[in-house]
Chain A
Amino acid sequence: NAGVTQTPKFQVLKTGQSMTLQCAQDMNHEYMSWYRQDPGMGLRLIHYSVGAGITDQGEVPNGYNVSRSTTEDFPLRLLSAAPSQTSVYFCASSYSLAGGVEQFFGPGTRLTVL
């Protein structure tokens, strides 16, 4: 089991460029989510999905799009990058959203927008 994988590990973008952060899990988890972590802050939820074809917004969704066509993959798209999106992005998954279960985190993608 690879768990939760994220690519790339590092990325530098110029303002206005677009890119997709990849996230995949091999645990057959229904729930997947994206967080961003800024210096000295906890994690803030961007978008989440409770199953293939179902996505919803979290606390800070503006500037980001997601889709979930398969159980395994949950990509995060930045359509027009802004310096305020410089952050470390974490993808997480769990087998369920209900009932309080642990989430498994990927290693993160460190994104810099110039």
Chain B
Amino acid sequence: SQQGEEDPQALSIQEGENATMNCSYKTSINNLQWYRQNSGRGLVHLILIRSNEREKHSGRLRVTLDTSKKSSSLLITASRAADTASYFCATDARYGGSQGNLIFGKGTKLSVKP
């Protein structure tokens, strides 16, 4: 079962605009990560935010985390056509005897038009 659920499922914007994607999750977490997947490729890690952090920046990316609402958002500023991809949030989970495996949401498909 998926822990994280991204919203919207799909987003289409013009180059230069900002893109905001949201992720909601169900249980308490230690950290939350965002990944990007280009069509037909594996996932690439973008950013990790820990449960005691509220905001984090990396280049054109800004991630926020609200543990009281069990939600996170990913903002991509000044988007480019190369940002076209699917974006997934992932939270840590326990399977078997180990904590730390990732549970992924279904993703937001972002299309940036030139």
Contact = CB atoms under 8 A, between A and B. Distances in A.
B25 interface: no
For the side of the interface on B, what is the size category?
20 to 34
B43 A33 contact: no
A105 B101 contact: no
Contacts of B45: 102-104
A75 interface: no
Interface stretch (B14-22, B66-74, B92-100): B92-100
Contacts of A42: 2, 4, 88, 103-107
A41 B4 CA distance: 11
B42 A106 contact: yes
Main DSSP-derived SS at the B contact region: strand
B28 interface: no
A99 B92 CA distance: 10
Interface of A: 4, 31, 33, 35, 40-45, 48, 50, 56-59, 90, 92, 96-108
Interface of B: 1-2, 4, 30-31, 33, 40-45, 48, 50, 88, 92, 95-107
A79 B42 CA distance: 25
Given A100-B33, A100-B48, A105-B44, A43 B99 contact: no
A56 B1 CA distance: 17
Given A33-B101, A48-B98, A59 B1 contact: yes
Given A98-B100, A100-B100, A103-B102, A56 B33 contact: no
B41 A58 contact: no
A61 to B, nearest CB: 9
A90 B44 CA distance: 12
